[in-house]
Amino acid sequence: MTAIAPIPNTSAVASSPDTPKTIDWLAIAHDFMAVVGERYVVRTREELLAYECDGLISYRQQPALVVLPRTTAEMTAVIKICDRNRVAFVARGSGTGLSGGALPLPDSVLIVTSLMKKILDVDFDNQRVVVQPGVINNWVTQAVSGAGFYYAPDPSSQIICSIGGNVAENSGGVHCLKYGVTTNHVLGAKIVLPDGEVKNIGGKIPEMPGYDLTGVFVGSEGTLGIATEVTLKILKSAESIQVLLADFTTVEAAGSTVSDVISAGIIPGGMEIMDNMSINAVEDTVATNCYPRDAASILLIEIDGLEIEVAESAKRIEAICYKNGARNVTSATDADQRLRLWKGRKAAFAAMGRLSPDYYVQDGVIPRTKLTYVLQEIEKLSEKYGYHVANVFHAGDGNLHPLILYNNAEAGALETVEELGGEILKLCVRVGGSISGEHGIGADKKCYMSEMFSDTDLETMQWVRDVFDPQGIANPTKILPTPRTCGEGAKSSYDAKYKLMDRF
């Protein structure tokens, strides 16, 4: 076997509907190797296995090739090769995304940013850092915490997920109630467009003049290009942090508490609710020994600020919890105790493995005022479809994470579970919410975009996409709906018009 064999799919037909031609993957692989070196072009079926899905493991697809550039220049050269050959490319960071944004496409190149992991600049005076996209979320805080700063967005996967992926999916986290999701913390970026051109968007200060292209890029899931440098805001660490754990005999009481806290003019760093099923799953798994197993729900509240402010807020929140019928309120101020209280929440998704071979996590948003109604409706849907649904959610933001438990080995289970998940999303939209809070749309939820947006609104998004990517090679078929994946034929004139986008 030669060094570069086997090359998959050498007879594949390229994607353009008007000028079909054979993709010469061997030549493309050689071109990539000339740029990044042989070691960083992954091409055997066995090695490609590691890249066939992201965190949405129910969908798998091997790409033709995986390339790992290390610099903006290498990224540019790699993307230019894709552009020249009109082959699709998909960007991937750590692969922890939950909507299939980094799911490879057939006959595509997967561009992985894991080797771009340098923190390029730290500027404490102006509270910003410049990082490469492969830098792990948690490293940013580690790099600046010594000087009393931190990076606010904190997905549960923060010890492994990358900043590039966070930017692509506009990730959130448990502390985004007070500080906002990723887009609120990105000042600018250096991006490589789908034709290989390098652009700077935004800058090093907030609110640059001109059109806010940073806002468009954040959350664009690799469809407008790939960032090679990202400038992030860092915040001053709070003087004091306190975590409260309240337990309730109904989920509704926890929900009302959340509304009452916000109405009292207090904005905690985060407010999280877990239901009984989730509580028991995490206690079985990580044994925090502080989540009461018989509670219908627990509410975790983190408060940060000046010491005196935190103490006062904690006192008021505790009173609001008891007024809403809390059985008990535990408080933690030192770091170890706080971590213990958070440990179960952070492990919640993983813990579902104790309850069920597989789970499917949804990411809907609802107005806080509809929480009780929506939870009751989810319970009804759970009964109707015959699958348990555990609820873990960023309650302060109204961002639900229903976890549908199922066994993928059962024939037809995934399809039914997806349908149930879809019903939950439609319910979220019906009450004035959204089909995504922080996980993105990716491959998983694009067929629900039409629930939220009219044809004409989707067309506007397509226009913007076409401007950045006229050949349609940057993560095509993701985000915007196409008939193939919705499983219902062309759903709308929008779908019909853009069905060519489905050519990959």
Asked if 379 interacts with its own copies (CB under 8 A), we say no
- Which among 60-68, 244-252, 291-299, 444-452 is the span making contact with its own copies, rule CB under 8 A? 444-452
CB of 457 to its own copies, least distance (A): 6
37 makes contact with its own copies (CB under 8 A): no
10 Å CB burial of residue 439 (0-12, 13-18, 19+) is buried
Least Cβ distance, residue 476 to its own copies (angstroms): 15
46 binds its own copies, rule: CB under 8 A: no
Residue of 27, 308, 496, 500 that binds its own copies (CB under 8 A)? 308
Q: Confirm or reject binding of residue 423 to its own copies (CB under 8 A).
A: no
Q: Least distance (Å) from its own copies to the CB of residue 306? A: 5
Contacts of 404 (CB under 8 A, 6+ apart): 359, 360, 361, 362, 382, 387, 388, 389, 417, 420, 421
Is residue 347 within 8 Å of 282, Cβ to Cβ? yes
Among 75, 102, 218, 274, binds its own copies (CB under 8 A): 218
Is 79 a binding residue for its own copies by CB under 8 A? The answer is no
Least Å from the CB of residue 62 to its own copies: 27
Q: Does 493 bind its own copies (CB under 8 A)?
A: no
Considering the rule CB under 8 A, would residue 246 count as an interface residue with its own copies?
no
Structure tokens at 354: 């104790």
Q: Under rule CB under 8 A, how many of the chain's residues touch its own copies?
A: 79
- In whole angstroms, the minimum distance from the beta carbon of 473 to its own copies comes to 17
**Among residues 44, 142, 145, 263, which is the contact residue for its own copies, using CB under 8 A?**
263
The only residue of 63, 440, 472, 476 in contact with its own copies, by rule CB under 8 A: 440
User: Is residue 212 close enough to count as binding its own copies by CB under 8 A?
Assistant: yes
Burial class (CB in 10 A: 0-12, 13-18, 19+), 456: exposed
Token representation of residue 258: 């959340």
Please identify, using beta-carbon distances, which residue of 284 and 457 lies nearer to its own copies. 457
Cβ closest to its own copies, residue 368 vs residue 426: 368
Where does this chain touch its own copies (CB under 8 A) — which range of 29-37, 244-252, 410-418, 463-471? 463-471
Closest separation in Å from C-beta 213 to its own copies:
6
- Number of residues in the chain: 504
Q: Which of 364, 355, 428, 366 is nearest to 388 (CA)?
A: 355
- Interacting residues with its own copies between 124 and 153 (CB under 8 A): 125-126, 148
Interacting residues with its own copies between 265 and 294 (CB under 8 A): 265-266
Residue 203's Cβ-count burial label (10 Å; 0-12, 13-18, 19+) is middle
Residue nearer to its own copies on the CB measure, 142 or 263: 263
DSSP symbols for 404-435: EEE-TTSTTHHHHHHHHHHHHHHHHHHTT-BS
Assigned token pair, 411: 């024939």
Residue 278 carries which DSSP code?
A: H
Is 22 a binding residue for its own copies by CB under 8 A? The answer is: no
Site string for its own copies, 329-368 (x = CB under 8 A): ------------------------------------x-xx
> What are 258-263's contacts with CB under 8 Å, separation 24+?
258/299, 258/368, 258/371, 258/395, 258/396, 259/368, 259/369, 259/371, 260/320, 260/323, 260/324, 261/301, 261/317, 261/320, 262/368, 262/396
Kindly state the smallest distance separating residue 485's Cβ from its own copies, in Å.
16
Give the Cβ contact number of residue 309 at 10 Å.
Answer: 15
Looking at 432, 487, 489, 493, which residue binds its own copies (CB under 8 A)? 432
List helix spans (H) across 86-219. 137-144, 163-169, 176-179, 213-217
Tokens 């942090």 belong to which residue? 241
Under the binding rule (CB under 8 A), the answer on residue 449 touching its own copies is yes
In the chain, the amino acid numbered 448 is Y
Element (H, E) at 84: helix 72-85
- Residues in 166-185 that interact with its own copies by CB under 8 A: 170, 172, 180-181, 183-184
- Taking CB under 8 A as the binding criterion, the range among 5-13, 62-70, 194-202, 243-251 that sits at the site for its own copies is 194-202
Contact of 279 with 292, CB cutoff 8 Å = yes
